[in-house]
């Protein structure tokens, strides 16, 4: 039996449900993420919090990286995870912390 490796959960979803992926591509990014009511930075922070709260750890690494790209600092991500512990539970926050630590290698933590 061969195993197919996908670079992201989104790629895996596209392979099985292309219409769902097309809907996301046509709605979520050009309409929701582009809405000027919230900055990309704030949307990223909200998305990371929602993924942690919902226990959606498969998508968390990609959104953690996007949060950094959108201006959220590592310290802010750590503070958000700590804050969430009191609202989503310590196991969820600890899992998110482990994922964040694995997502951001030492070279990404210290880019200089």
Give residue limits of the domains in the chain.
8-37, 38-112
Interval 48-75 mean pLDDT: 96
- Could you tell me the two tokens for 45? 């922070």
| Residue 40: predicted pLDDT | 97
| Residue 3: predicted pLDDT | 53
Q: Is the pLDDT score of 37 beyond 50?
A: yes
| Residue 49: predicted pLDDT | 98
DSSP state of 38: S
Within 8 A by CB and 6+ apart from 40, the residues are: 33, 70, 71
Going by pLDDT thresholds of 50, 70 and 90, the confidence category of residue 24 is confident
Average pLDDT, the chain: 88
- CATH architecture of the domain formed by 38-112: Up-down Bundle (1.20)
Q: Work out the angle at residue 44's Cα, subtended by the Cα atoms of residues 80 and 110, and round it to the nearest 5 degrees.
A: 70
| Residue 7: predicted pLDDT | 67
Q: Is the pLDDT score of 6 beyond 80?
A: no
């Amino acid at each position: 039996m061969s195993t197919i490796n996908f670079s992201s959960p989104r790629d895996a979803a596209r392979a099985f449900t292309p219409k769902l992926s097309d809907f996301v591509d046509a709605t979520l990014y050009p309409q929701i993420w582009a809405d000027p009511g919230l900055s990309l930075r704030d949307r990223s922070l909200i998305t990371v919090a929602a993924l942690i709260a919902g226990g959606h750890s498969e998508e968390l690494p990609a959104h953690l990286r996007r949060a950094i790209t959108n201006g959220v600092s590592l310290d802010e991500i750590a503070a958000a995870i700590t804050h969430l512990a009191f609202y989503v539970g310590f196991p969820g926050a600890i899992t998110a912390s482990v994922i964040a630590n694995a997502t951001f290698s030492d070279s990404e933590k210290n880019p200089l």
